[in-house]
Chain A
Amino acid sequence: QSALTQPPSASGSPGQSVTISCTGTSSDVGAYNYVSWYQQYPGKAPKLMISDVSKRPSGVPDRFSGSKSGNTASLTISGLQPEDEGDYYCGSYTGNSYFFGTGTKVTVL
Chain B
Amino acid sequence: GAVVSQHPSRVICKSGTSVKIECRSLDFQATTMFWYRQFPKKSLMLMATSNEGSKATYEQGVEKDKFLINHASLTLSTLTVTSAHPEDSSFYICSAASGSGNSEAFFGQGTRLTVV
A, B: real partners: no
